[in-house]
Chains A and B, each alone.
Chain A
Amino acid sequence: MTSSTPASFSMGTADGLPEAEKNAAESENTYILRPIFQQRFRPSVVKECIHAVLKEELANAEYSPEEMPQLTKRLSETIKDKLKEMGFDRYKMVVQVVIGEQRGEGVFMAARCFWDADTDNYTHDVFMNIPCNM
């Protein structure tokens, strides 16, 4: 009975760091150390993005230990790509996806970052997929 009740949740963290490397072709020094205001990392927007991805991917997903590694990788890649499209120019993104099975156990997850508090930020989203099988 209970084996057929896998619940998966996933969490994505986008962590921005000023991009250190610039194109070799770009010869001119911009003297821009930090992202311009329009390109600041906006947690709310990013969270929406993450949530959209998670919802799309995980809405009907069932937990199976074999598939999860690929799924996490795919999700993180997808999220990262989407974030790059959003144009956080001088950021380095770190996306972390964790998928776990929900069977009543307690879970506590925490994150800590070494960053420039002025510009860098993070956001996370939790998607809980509770399958209801009648």
Chain B
Amino acid sequence: MLPRDLSTTPSKYLAVPGTQELEFRRLSSSQLSGMPQFPRRSSRCPVTLSAPVLPARPEGQPSLVPAPRPAPPPNRTPTGLETRTALRPFPPHRVGVTVTVRRTKDDTWKADDLRKHLLAAQSGSPKEDKKHREKKLHKESEMDLPEYREPKHGGPDRDSKYRERPGERDGPVSRENPHGDREREKRRERRKDSRDRDRERHKEKHREQDTEKSHGKGKDRGKAGDRGAEREERGRTAACAVPPGRPLLGRAERETRAVSRVRTEEKERRDGDPERGDEERERRYRERKLQYGDSKDNPLKYWLYKEEGERRHRKQKEPDRERKHGEKSSTREKREKYPKEKSNSFSDKEGEERHKGKRHKEGFQFDEERRQSNTAEKERLSREDLKRRESKDSEHRNRGASSRRDPIGSREGTYAENLVRNNGKDKDSRKEIEKEDIDSENAGADEYTACFEDDFEDYEDDFEVCDGDDDSFNELEPKEKIEELPLARKKEIQEIQKAINAENERIGKLSCRLSQKPGLLEDENSSPARAPVCGIFIDFATASRRQKSRTQALKQKTRSTKLLRLIDLDFSFTFSLLDLPPVNEYDMYIRNFGKKNTKQAYVQYNEDNVDRDIQTEEIETRGVWTQHPGEGTAVSGGSMSGDPRDVAAAPKVDTPRLSSFLRAACQVIAVLLEEDRVGAEPSWGPRTQDSTLHISDSSSQLNTSLPFLQNRRVSCLCASQVQRQTVVSVHGPPGAASAPVLDCRYVLCVWDIWQPSGPQKVLICESKVTCCCFSPFKAFLLFAGTVHGSVLVWDLREDSRIHHYVKLGNCFWTFRTATFSTDGILTSVNHRSPVQAIEPISTSVYKKQSFVLSPFSTQEEMSGLSFHIASLDESGVLNVWVVVELPKADIAGSVSDLGLIPGGRIKLVHSAVIQLSDSLSHKGCEFWGATRTLNVKFLPSDPSHFIVGTDVGLISHGTRQDLRVSPKLYKAQQPGMRPVQVNVIDFSPFGEPVFLAGCSDGSIRLHQLTSECPLLQWDSSTNGHAVTGLHWSLTRPAMFLAQDDMSCIYIWDLLESDLGPVAKQLISPDRLVAMTVVGEAEKASGSFLALVLARASGSVDVQYLKRAWAAPVGDELRKLRLLFQEAL
């Protein structure tokens, strides 16, 4: 209610300390003065002074500090500092603290108070005035009191309102104090609410005012009351000095030292002998009164002094303090009596006993002093005064410290306040801890005070506010005690203690709560203050350590903040310190390999040569190239040096020449081999003794004893006109079956007379071969005519594989069938009667023979196979065939050429047919029937002309083109037609236009081509035996050989005798069947003339005629012509 009213002037009333003092003073004075209305208060006063109430305050007060404020200003003279330190019996660090504190305090007071006072005096504004007044009061409570009272007393009109109030209010207020205290406590808990705080302040201000009034009233009470009040105030101021945070506790502790002294006294009294304690208290109060009266009977002086300047004050006080200190030190010794009793009450900790002991001593000393003399009182008072100042100093200092400590904000400060206030109620144990802490703090605080002196000035006002605030709580408790004391001290004390205990309990809870909150919100600085709240155990060592560490940390922090501006810190790269990949199984195995009983080693052959891994021969390589197919001379080559030479040296081979050479060589060798064989087989070789005829020098026998030739009779012999040594023999069917394959077949054997051991080729034919001939230029084709009228061709070049292959005896024989046969084909033009003769028609042959000049050209023509074959059968049909060589052989056979053997290349094409019978029959010999044509010969000089022998003794002359020729007939010397067969016709091989004709009547005629009648005619040369064979000698033009059917051979030499044969040889007993002439005329030395004789037994002889008949005689042809001319 009241606070509300006063709340209109909030801030100004906050300056408290002075007012509180006043109030206390008033209470104490009233009590001491023996005022009946308030006996309790008076009695209580001493209790509060000494009792735990006071100790609680020092913490409470600083907690009220709303915001951190620096300590009072720095400007200060160092005077007296040293002396003071010397005087004080505190530990060194504490000395320093006190010194600084004092300094600051002095300065603050000097500077600020003066200034404010001046301001107040000038402005005269009530608020300001009030404030200043309060300040003054607070500062110089003892001295001011009388002054204050007087003005109030003198000017009641001004304070009239208030004056009534003390009467009304004092009682209830004092009585309600316990409750009010509690309420305040609660409020404190809700401290954050500024309104509450304000309200409290207002209340307090009211109270202050009240106290002022009371002071005013109680001015008559005298100094005694003042003294009591002062004592209380001293305690309170000490309480006020309690710092808000831990660091601030030191000051409070310093204050509390004094307080504790008082309290210990009280306790002693209470514990030991309450009565005595009471007495003592009373006595003390009395003494104090006396002291006041003695020392400070003139408070006016102070007032005046104050106006002048504080310096004087201090000077006065200083000696007092010095005195006090000295006293303290002396009193300490006296107090040694009761150390233990109090130690229990104060704290459980042994470590603290020392401090307690000190205090106890002091307390005891006080008591003793008081008892002993009043003079001591004075000293003590002065000391108290000093203490109070100290407390103020410390307060400022604390503020300064707190402001320094709590730069973050006021919030922290409020927490600290709360804590401190709560702590303040924790009367017994707390103080000691705080003392310790503060001691340690002070060292640090000193520095800061020095630093922040300036700041303190600025925040002076706020301190006042806080002070007032704090005082408001603290003042009440003493009031209670003061009230109680006079009436029933014990009761009161107990009550108080109860209240205290309750408070303690509450505080304990509260602190617990707070300790959690701060833990979250406050930083390190405030936490140490919490620790003592929670626990009963106090660890000074850790606390100091913590304190130190905190300061250290702070220093480091500031330093780091400064330094970090200069140094850039950044994150480094991530360094890879170690990277061990996991080991795989094989590595593990190898790692463990050595642990087993094994060892790895190497062995090498040829151990001296370690540098060579392998000792082997080097492989030599050479690059060579080759070509496929290997045509040409350079088939392969390469890096070998010899190759190019080989290639270069490869001779240019004339392949055709080589092949011809090889062919010739082959023949030579074959002949040589044959001769060897003949030598081995005497029968084959030329024999002179038995088989050799007397007309011949030697003879040989062709080997007709071959299995397929046995029992075969030779029907015909034919020699090649070009290759004179080649003879073909036609063997008839065997008389007895020998070889089933060849039964009833005719065999033709091509012989080389020089190789009599065997035939060159063996040909077979189905029908009987009546005549045969070789191809004109090269004897590789064999033509034959059969009884059945067919013409056959054998190609002797054919591969033997396409023919029949028979193994007879030890040798393989190839039996060649005809390459082409006209059997069954070309029936319209083919012969219908047995073929009598077959002749090649080749102009070149005759050219060659007639004109020996150009053999090569004819040779080339012949190679082209440009020749015809003429075949004549009995009925006078002369067919002319063209020999055609197919460009390619067809193994599968030909569809169109049915007569061609599969794989054969030669075939005959019918070219022309000449009917000779017509011309012959027209000759008028009708009764003779049809004339048989027996043989045909083509004129060597002109192949288109031919002569045909007939069976009527006439030789017809004709041409292929039906041209008229003369003479048409060649007749014998005997006129008319006779049944004489012209068996043989033969042209002279030397080109003479004459031919011989042998007749069946045994006559031989020599005809010229130009005359119809014969040039010569020998009728009885053979004794009437039919001439079967007639051959011009190949070596001598004037010689010819004749054979009759009586197997007799006649040799004619026209130069020697043109009347009859020069020699006659009868071949018997093996009759001669067929005969042919072979011989070579060109070779002078090697010229020979041989007769191939086929005997009836089947053997074939070669009779080499004697050199006389074989070798030509010089100029023989001319002689022969002469002979002919003679015969004409």
Chain A complexes with chain B: yes
Is the pair A124, B577 in contact by a Cβ cutoff of 8 Å?
yes
Residues of chain B within 8 A of A116, CB atoms compared: 567-570
Q: Report B1069-1112 CB contacts with A as 1/0, cut-off 8 Å.
A: 00000000000000000000000000000000000000000000
With A21-B556, A115-B572, A134-B594 as known contacts, state yes or no: A9 contacts B578, CB within 8 Å: yes
Q: Is B639 an interface residue (CB 8 A)?
A: no
What chain A residues lie within 8 Å of B572 (beta carbons)?
112-115, 117, 120, 122
A104 sits at the interface (CB 8 A): yes
Question: A11–B578 Cα gap in the complex (Å)?
Answer: 8
Chain A, residues 72-108, CB within 8 Å of chain B (1/0): the string is 0000000000000000000000000000001011111
Shortest CB-to-CB span from B89 to chain A, Å, is 27
Complex Cα distance, B562 from A33, in Å, reads 11
Contacting residues, chain A, for B736 (C-beta < 8 A): none
Contact residues of A: prevailing secondary structure: loop
Q: Which residues of B contact A34 (CB under 8 A)?
A: 567
Number of interface residues of A (CB under 8 A): 34
Pairwise interchain contact B595-A113, C-beta atoms closer than 8 A: no
Contact of A108 among B559, B568, B576 (CB under 8 A): B576
Residue A13 interfacial (CB < 8 Å): yes
B-side contacts of A104, CB under 8 Å: 582-583, 587-588
The answer for the CA separation of A34 and B566 in the assembled complex, in Å, is 10
**Separation in Å of the B112 CB from the closest CB of chain A?**
33
The answer to whether A107 touches B580 (Cβ under 8 A) is yes
Name B577's contact: one of A5, A115, A118, A126 (CB within 8 Å). A126
- Judge whether B613 is part of the interface by a CB distance below 8 angstroms: no
Interface pair A109/B582, CB less than 8 Å apart:
no
CB nearest to B582 among chain A residues: A106
Is A111 at the interface (CB under 8 A from chain B)? yes
Q: Which A residues touch B566, using CB under 8 A?
A: 33
Kindly state whether residue A20 has any CB partner on chain B within 8 Å. Answer: yes
- Measured between alpha carbons, how far is A64 from B952 in the docked complex, in Å? 149
Roughly how many angstroms separate A104 CA and B588 CA in the complex, as a whole number? 7
- Interface status of A133 (Cβ within 8 A of chain B): yes
Q: Is the CB of B569 within 8 A of A108?
A: no
B616: Cβ under 8 A from any A Cβ: no
The reply to whether A112 and B574 contact each other, CB–CB distance below 8 Å, is: yes
Q: Which of B560, B569, B574, B580 interacts with A20 by CB under 8 Å?
A: B560
Residues of chain A within 8 A (CB-CB) of B570 are 114-117
Task: State whether B569 touches A111 (Cβ < 8 A).
Answer: no
- B 569-610 to A, binary, CB cutoff 8 A, 1 in contact else 0: 111111111111111000110011011000000000000000
**Per-residue 0/1 for A47-88: is the Cβ within 8 Å of any B Cβ (1 yes, 0 no)?**
000000000000000000000000000000000000000000
Give A114 to B564 CA distance when docked, in angstroms.
13
- The number of chain B residues with a CB under 8 A from chain A is 28
A96 to chain B: closest residue by CB: B577
Q: How far is the CA of A11 from the CA of B560 in the complex (A)?
A: 30
Q: How far is the CA of A116 from the CA of B565 in the complex (A)?
A: 12
A-B contact count (CB 8 A): 84
| Interface flag for A132 (CB, 8 Å) | yes
B1096 to chain A, nearest CB (A): 117
Give Cα A108 to B580, complex, Å: 6
Interface status of B563 (Cβ within 8 A of chain A): yes
Cβ–Cβ < 8 Å partners of B592 in chain A: 1-2, 5
Q: How far is the CA of A11 from the CA of B563 in the complex (A)?
A: 32
Q: Does B579 lie within 8 Å of A107, measured CB to CB? A: yes
Q: Which residues of B contact A13 (CB under 8 A)?
A: 577
CB distance from A62 to the nearest CB of B (A): 15
With A33-B566, A116-B567, A132-B594 in contact, do A124 and B575 touch (Cβ < 8 Å)?
A: yes
Cα of A124 to Cα of B574 in the assembled complex, Å: 13
Q: Taking the complex as formed, is A18 at the interface, i.e. its CB lies under 8 A from any CB of chain B? A: yes
In the complex, what distance in Å separates the CA atom of A116 from the CA atom of B568?
A: 6
Q: How far is the CA of A113 from the CA of B569 in the complex (A)?
A: 10
The residues of B that contact A109 with a CB separation of less than 8 Å are: 576-579
B599 smallest CB distance to A (angstroms):
10
Closest to B578 in A: A109
Contacts of A107 in B (CB 8 A): 578-580
Shortest distance from the beta carbon of B303 to any chain A beta carbon, whole Å: 48
State whether B574 touches A110 (Cβ < 8 A): yes
**Least CB separation from B596: chain A residue:** A1
Complex formed: what's the CA distance from A5 to B578 in Å?
20
Closest to A125 in B: B577
Chain A 8-51 against B: per-residue CB contact (8 Å), 1 yes, 0 no? 01010100001011000000000001100000000000000000
Which residues of chain B (533-567) have a CB below 8 Å from chain A?
556, 559-560, 563, 566-567
Say yes or no: A114-B571 contact (C-beta < 8 A), given A108-B580, A132-B594.
yes
A106-B581 contact in complex given A114-B571, A134-B594, C-beta closer than 8 Å:
yes
List residues of chain A with CB within 8 A of the CB of B571.
112-114
**CA–CA, A2 to B573, complex, Å?**
38
Complex: A20 Cα to B567 Cα, angstroms: 12
Q: Which of B567, B569, B577 has the most CB of A within 10 A?
A: B577
B559 touches A20 (CB 8 A): yes
Bound form: Cα–Cα A1–B577 in Å: 30
Contacts of B588 in A (CB 8 A): 104
Q: Are B595 and A1 interface neighbours, CB within 8 A?
A: yes
- B residues 39-61 near A (Cβ < 8 Å) are none
Closest residue of chain B to A33 (Cβ to Cβ) is B566
CA distance A6 to B581 in the complex (A): 17
Whether the Cβ atoms of A108 and B579 lie closer than 8 Å is yes
Contact partners of A20 in chain B: CB under 8 A = 556, 559-560, 563
Complex interface: chain A residues within 8 A of B576 (CB):
108-110
Specify which of A11, A118, A124, A133 is in contact with B595 (CB 8 Å cutoff): A133
Return A100 CB to nearest CB of chain B, in Å: 9
Residues of A within 8 Å of B582, CB to CB, are 104-106
Give CA–CA (A9, B571) in the complex, Å.
Answer: 27
From B568, B580, B588, name the one whose CB has the most chain A CB atoms within 10 angstroms.
B580
- B578 close to A108 (CB less than 8 A): yes
Q: Which residues of B contact A118 (CB under 8 A)?
A: 568
Docked Cα-Cα span, A18 to B567, in Å, equals: 10
17 inter-chain pairs at a CB distance below 8 angstroms, sorted by A residue, are A13-B577, A33-B566, A105-B580, A105-B583, A108-B576, A109-B577, A110-B575, A110-B576, A114-B571, A115-B570, A115-B572, A117-B570, A118-B568, A120-B572, A126-B578, A132-B594, A134-B595
Residues of chain B touching chain A, judged by Cβ–Cβ distance below 8 Å, are 556, 559-560, 563, 566-583, 587-588, 591-592, 594-595
Q: Given contacts A104-B587, A112-B572, could you give 16 more A-B pairs where the C-beta distance is less than 8 Å? A: A5-B595, A11-B577, A20-B563, A33-B563, A33-B566, A102-B580, A107-B578, A107-B579, A108-B580, A110-B574, A112-B573, A113-B572, A114-B571, A114-B572, A118-B568, A132-B594
Q: Which 10 A-B pairs have the closest CB atoms?
A: A106-B582, A104-B583, A107-B580, A109-B578, A113-B572, A109-B577, A124-B577, A112-B574, A111-B575, A110-B574
Residues of A within 8 A of B (CB): 1-2, 5, 9, 11, 13, 18, 20-21, 33-34, 102, 104-118, 120, 122, 124, 126, 132-134
